[in-house]
Amino acid sequence: MAPDDGNGWPGRAEQQSLRLIERYEEVEQLSRDMLAAAHREDWSEVARLEARCRLLIAYLRRISMIEPLNPIEQARRVELLRAILQHDAQIRMRSEPWLLELERLIAVPRRAKPAD
């Protein structure tokens, strides 16, 4: 932790990690928004939000290699990841019937095999 300079603003390292944990919070919010869209059966919105999520996750993978979180932030990160996984499971449960219906709609009818 950077020494306190008395002005009440966090040091550069603290600002960096704060931004990093904020990105995790943003992913959690996006996953919550995706779940709400899934409840509305707005699958195009789910897909749009998922694309934004993927970009943030790619960023987090890169930056987390060079910017470790402090223990408090790490605990918060674990909480956020658990929430994200719960949202994801609920989205999957809601999307499976839709995916099965989509598969049925786009399936090419099989031709009967010719008799020998």
- Report whether 102 contacts 50 (CB < 8 A): no
Full-model pTM: 0.68
Average pLDDT over residues 40-64: 93
Domains of the chain (ranges plus CATH)?
12-103 (1.20.58.380)
Q: Which residue has the higher pLDDT, 106 or 84?
A: 84
pLDDT of residue 68: 85
Secondary structure letter of residue 42 according to DSSP: -
Per-residue confidence (pLDDT) for residue 103, from 0 to 100: 75
Is the pLDDT assigned to residue 112 strictly greater than 90? no
